[in-house]
Structure 1
């Protein structure tokens, strides 16, 4: 895979689904987690809880998408509609009335298809052999892309045109990047190449290699792959005058569209990655929240006025979803707005975003930053709550008298006073409701359409981002990280880089 030779006698890398497990049921793969249940019972109603968990414990059906720019697109679609729809239904004994293969009703032009079978079943079931070989061959040459159904949704809401410059901030493994390139080329006039392009970025160099392997099937020149931290994605310069190189006019490149599909806890993928059941805990989502905010803010700063950005995750956790969107709207102060796309793709079953939620840390629930004890404030951030806030405001507005030695790191602390400051029974706090129109966000849940779970928010930039003064800082070693980091202007970022280079000690010539 990486160009090196495989050691003699060693097996290829183990496949999760094909791993050898004991045939007995003495040690089955766990598909339950009490902490998961306690957390999400506050989000899903008791009436639908059983249906939700039951679907989560079943394998995820396979799905794929036909490349709309392939010259064989119509032939492949016709073969699916007139051959495989009937042959698979006849060959496979159905336990219910569900069709073996069917087009996704919400995807345009019957170009995306949904199977009743999981990827493991496709490989193991002999009656599906011909269809499985068809999928492998067409995927290898780029005529189709095997992709989870809900993962296909974000690019459809981005409204990409052939002249757009698109930034995919966290692009690997590349299925959404491939989809963006398809849309870019399809919106171009016949016989012409797109004026726009896609810049696909990922932090991990190995995942960048996977991204290149995925997208090279497209055979396009309108793609650049970069390897940067998304929250520190550098500013780019655009040459306006190509004829006279000595008089080039260089402008900052701002993007027409930004896809911000951030790293997340991934509990929306439990059906295809059941090992996540035993690993799941609230700390993962809480720990990623601040990074997600910084990536989204950097994306907003690189977006043109009038441009559109998608923020998405494959998580169901409001701390990674609605809380991040609310914090971005809060920091941008009216420069970014949530777009109502409820009338787009009407056959896609979606749920509105949440406007209220609680924060959990190590089994303790908090409804406001007012009731977070001091020792938890490095983990539970004010931005995680519906109405945000800050801990300085908490100290100044708190109705309870707290002694100085309790809020400092001094050794002389009274345990009774600490208990009084932390006990939520003593402090009656009202559950917060966000002032932002978070119901415009979309939640795709597994038991609505037999899919994985996904969160999507469509944001539009209506004016330039204002300068935000932030006093709260968190020191990490010698580096100081501000709460507004990731919102730098591209030109200012380049000036910072130049200053940093000028301060670097010169390396003596060898």
Structure 2
């Protein structure tokens, strides 16, 4: 893939340096910066000023004494968040503002979620989704450790994430499950278990998660797709398939000073289980192979797909970005950003809200308003007024700038956007009917 093999291997197996983010929303941020600089922290040049740092020691190998104790205490008290530099890229590159409602589709353990939460604080909101219960606990712990009120945690299979009220999400991050072949600097054993068929097995899930995120994206909104894999089948091939399935999306150029990044590939080999390239016309015999794994040029040569569409995809793929281990002393990474094109002829809502069934009804048809299920002891509900008044009186605080939520005996603060865009409005069903408002249903909030 255009790399010097020896030079790349010399870096790809070296331990990663310790890197972390400074918590932006804390009042003692300046003190934290002074403390980490005193033990050798150096700014990461492509992150905003004094928001992320690299230490002069390997990941998890702080020298005994003050550096080791200080790093542990700063992390545990929410003043810093340990995070690989490469994994900071999706949020760094995402187009968003402090008025953004964002969805992180595969959020655990929470480093990108909290990075985005800090960026959108205090008005914007992140819906952080994680389907796996064990990983969900890590996500909730990281949110609590930082005390971020603008993160709403949900538990769904990202491929089938429910319809929240329209118009949809302003921004989506799809940092999808992958083979992790770019993580050799922290996981040297990753390649012992990897063969080319593993990437082909991941492809469909990666496409389905990303396509669902795209369907929930408002016109004009942005979706970032990313992996920590080197394999084009998990990267450019997924991006190409999303452009085929979602013709309302386009890739947008990404630029970032202070870091060396490389354009996406337009052609790549398909490998057999020994790692040997296979001719495209013979790839059908490979385990889990699908024609969508091929690059646009190879597809056109085999007469697959519509020529104009494939040519357009080939022209866009260089807008993806690849990060290689040996250019910036990081792990490897892949990232691309889509935009939902604005179309003045369409309703200004996400594709998921445009019900085909509803459009086939008679002109005088009126959707049925369905009552959401009754809350249970584990449901997140709007806080009772007398509870809020009691807390205000006890602590002498004014809670009117917030929306407040209860789950059992726990009371949570959140920005008003949670109530205004996620809870209060009605949400359409897939049959064109409507779930009545004043509920998070059909999304499971935890």
TM range (shorter): 0.7 to 0.9
* 1:214-229 to 2 correspondences below 5 Å: 214-229=142-157
1:84 and 2:39 matched: yes
Matched residues in 2 for 1:139 and 1:381: separation? 44
Question: Which sections of structure 1, spanning at least 5 residues, go unmatched?
Answer: 1-42, 86-100, 186-192, 238-251, 395-431, 467-486, 500-510
Picking from 61, 71, 79, the partner of 1:143 is 79
Matched residues in 2 for 1:202 and 1:69: separation? 24
Specify the alignment match of 2:332 in structure 1: 453
Tell me: CA distance 1:371–1:174, structure 2 relative to 1, closer, same or farther (3 Å). Answer: same
Matched residues in 1 for 2:130 and 2:119: separation? 21
Matched residues in 1 for 2:61 and 2:12: separation? 17
Matched residues in 1 for 2:42 and 2:133: separation? 37
Q: Is the Cα contact below 8 Å between 1:361 and 1:380 reproduced in 2?
A: no
Q: Is the Cα contact below 8 Å between 2:233 and 2:293 reproduced in 1?
A: yes
1:52 and 2:8 matched: yes
Q: Is the Cα contact below 8 Å between 1:58 and 1:271 reproduced in 2?
A: yes
Q: Is the Cα contact below 8 Å between 2:118 and 2:148 reproduced in 1?
A: no
Structure 1 length as normaliser, TM-score? Answer: 0.64
Tell me: CA distance 1:488–1:359, structure 2 relative to 1, closer, same or farther (3 Å). Answer: farther
1:67 and 2:23 matched: yes
The structural deviation recorded for 1:315 is 0.6
Specify the alignment match of 1:436 in structure 2: 315
* 1:84-483 to 2 correspondences below 5 Å: 84-85=39-40, 101-122=41-62, 125-126=63-64, 129-185=65-121, 193-194=122-123, 196-237=124-165, 252-333=166-247, 335-342=248-255, 345-363=256-274, 365-368=277-280, 370-373=281-284, 375-376=285-286, 379-387=288-296, 389=299, 435-463=314-342
Question: Which sections of structure 2, spanning at least 5 residues, go unmatched?
Answer: 305-310, 346-350, 357-427, 435-446
Specify the alignment match of 1:474 in structure 2: none
Tell me: CA distance 1:132–1:253, structure 2 relative to 1, closer, same or farther (3 Å). Answer: farther
Matched residues in 2 for 1:440 and 1:390: separation? 20
Q: Is the Cα contact below 8 Å between 1:356 and 1:434 reproduced in 2?
A: no
- Residues 40-65 of structure 1, C-alpha deviation per residue, up to 9 Å, x if partnerless? xxx143xx211111111211111111
The structural deviation recorded for 1:435 is 2.1
Tell me: CA distance 1:498–1:146, structure 2 relative to 1, closer, same or farther (3 Å). Answer: same
- Residues 259-297 of structure 1, C-alpha deviation per residue, up to 9 Å, x if partnerless? 010000001111111221311211211100111111111
- Residues 139-187 of structure 1, C-alpha deviation per residue, up to 9 Å, x if partnerless? 11111000101111110111322211100000000000000110011xx
SS in 2 for 1:495: coil
SS in 1 for 2:49: helix
SS in 2 for 1:269: coil
Tell me: CA distance 1:326–1:434, structure 2 relative to 1, closer, same or farther (3 Å). Answer: same
Matched residues in 1 for 2:432 and 2:155: separation? 17
The structural deviation recorded for 1:304 is 0.5
- Residues 99-156 of structure 1, C-alpha deviation per residue, up to 9 Å, x if partnerless? xx4211111112211123223422xx43xx2111111111111110001011111101
Tell me: CA distance 1:52–1:117, structure 2 relative to 1, closer, same or farther (3 Å). Answer: same
Q: Is the Cα contact below 8 Å between 2:270 and 2:283 reproduced in 1?
A: no
The structural deviation recorded for 1:219 is 2.0
Q: Is the Cα contact below 8 Å between 2:227 and 2:333 reproduced in 1?
A: yes
The structural deviation recorded for 1:389 is 4.8
The structural deviation recorded for 1:498 is 8.5
RMSD value, Cα: 2.8
SS in 2 for 1:110: coil
The structural deviation recorded for 1:217 is 2.2
SS in 1 for 2:30: helix
- Residues 310-361 of structure 1, C-alpha deviation per residue, up to 9 Å, x if partnerless? 000011111000111111112222x11111122xx31121111111101113
Q: Is the Cα contact below 8 Å between 2:18 and 2:60 reproduced in 1?
A: no
SS in 2 for 1:310: strand
The structural deviation recorded for 1:463 is 4.1
The structural deviation recorded for 1:439 is 1.2
Matched residues in 1 for 2:301 and 2:160: separation? 26
Matched residues in 1 for 2:176 and 2:5: separation? 27
Larger radius of gyration: 1
Equivalent pairs, count: 352
